[in-house]
Structure 1
């Protein structure tokens, strides 16, 4: 499930939203109100239940040979075993928007935001089997009992990475 050219997507477990209002998320790091969406490249970051903690790691032009060998794939998503059943049974929906109402957010951009209310181009679309989406996209999905060792290693090298909902992960045994 990816947006068509000229579109961005918003993923949700709620298929009944008809209008998206800018708001400041409870976990926001910025004070401005936005409607959040993602483009083609970042859509796989959201092929998960909303609250699922995940480490997303990929190779890029700056990735060293050592980091590429450690990762063992072009792109890897890692979740805890405790989230597998929820991943398998989640009913996720995608809302399509005209990208013209949004602007890139982040440096480099990792999302798109609108500062005005927006309405989807149509009804929410069922995303389908989240495991199958990963497989079809060639994204390796890994399971672990402890997300933190992988996260620490991924974030200290030359790989691209993103962590989403990490506050919902099992406690880091190495944390003070």
Structure 2
């Protein structure tokens, strides 16, 4: 299990209800290796992510990800590029024994209801842009995430949005 943070001084993770939580239960949150790229960003950076799944139509893949774009795409807004490039992100490795999957129908994270101590000191994640490149994840930079998000969520692609409340406001018809 992994937990990503810009704070390299955490020695114990205690279950809590996050200010943005949809669940009333207190948890320690973590992700597995497959969901780790969702967190290769500064904490508050809004991001819209999409990837090819087993039921993805070729037309949706071509229209949204694009030709030669691989199978996964992350989008952020221009105002977050400098913060992405400057971020000092750390990965904490956590013992898997107390975690269980959360999310229906497909789990999106792992949670523990018990305090968890890291297996060792956190590791600096490094260059977040390079991580995307090495993983073959297209990183798209947009003025505003909402038109992209609407296209993704109406498609057959799989998707996840994190910290979208921090994105620029949705444009009005007059703004387009």
TM-score range, shorter chain: over 0.9
| Alignment correspondent of 2:28 | 35
Count matched residues: 168
Deviation string 1:49-82 (CA, Å, 9 cap, x unpaired) is: 0000000000111001110111223000000000
| Alignment correspondent of 1:4 | none
1:115 paired residue among 107, 113, 116: 113
Measure the CA separation in 2 of the matches of 1:20 and 1:62: 37
| Alignment correspondent of 1:94 | 91
| Alignment correspondent of 1:26 | 19
CA RMSD between the two structures: 0.9
| Unmatched 5+ stretches in structure 2 | none
| Alignment correspondent of 1:62 | 55
Measure the CA separation in 1 of the matches of 2:123 and 2:34: 19
Measure the CA separation in 2 of the matches of 1:59 and 1:174: 30
Measure the CA separation in 2 of the matches of 1:100 and 1:136: 30
Q: Secondary structure at the match of 1:173?
A: coil
TM-score normalized by the length of structure 1:
0.94
1:48 paired residue among 41, 51, 68: 41
1:106 paired residue among 88, 97, 103: 103
| Unmatched 5+ stretches in structure 1 | 1-7
Measure the CA separation in 2 of the matches of 1:142 and 1:68: 15
TM-score normalized by the length of structure 2:
0.94
Cα drift, residue 174 of structure 1: 3.1
| Alignment correspondent of 2:79 | 82
Measure the CA separation in 1 of the matches of 2:123 and 2:58: 40
Bigger shift: 36-45 or 97-106? Answer: 97-106
Measure the CA separation in 2 of the matches of 1:56 and 1:100: 28
Measure the CA separation in 2 of the matches of 1:65 and 1:46: 27
Measure the CA separation in 1 of the matches of 2:101 and 2:172: 35
Runs of 4+ deviating beyond 3 Å: none
Cα drift, residue 98 of structure 1: 1.3
